[in-house]
Structure 1
Amino acid sequence: MVNTILEEADLFCPNSVRINFTIYHVSNSNK
């Protein structure tokens, strides 16, 4: 599911935003 969101976001978001989204998701998972 996460991979699908990243693929869709990559269509209209820069790589930096995609990386930040990934870090944000990982941070929430660790909590």
Structure 2
Amino acid sequence: MWRKLGWFALIWVLSVAALGLVAMALRAVIS
């Protein structure tokens, strides 16, 4: 169970980081 939670947390952190990078890229393109 803990291993599954660890994978979920890892995927969540990576997805949040990816969204942040996409947002920064969009901001750079727009401005």
Q: Higher helix proportion, which one?
A: 2
Q: TM-score, normalised by structure 2?
A: 0.57
What is the aligned-residue RMSD (CA, Å)?
Answer: 1.3
After TM superposition, the score normalised by the length of structure 1 is 0.57
**What 5-or-longer segments of structure 1 have no aligned partner?**
1-12
Within the candidate set 10, 27, 30, 1:29 is matched to: 27
Q: How many positions carry a matched residue from both structures?
A: 19
Residue 30 (structure 1) shift? 0.1
Identity %: 0
Structure 2: unaligned runs, 5 residues or longer? 1-10
Give 1 or 2 for the bigger CA radius of gyration: 2
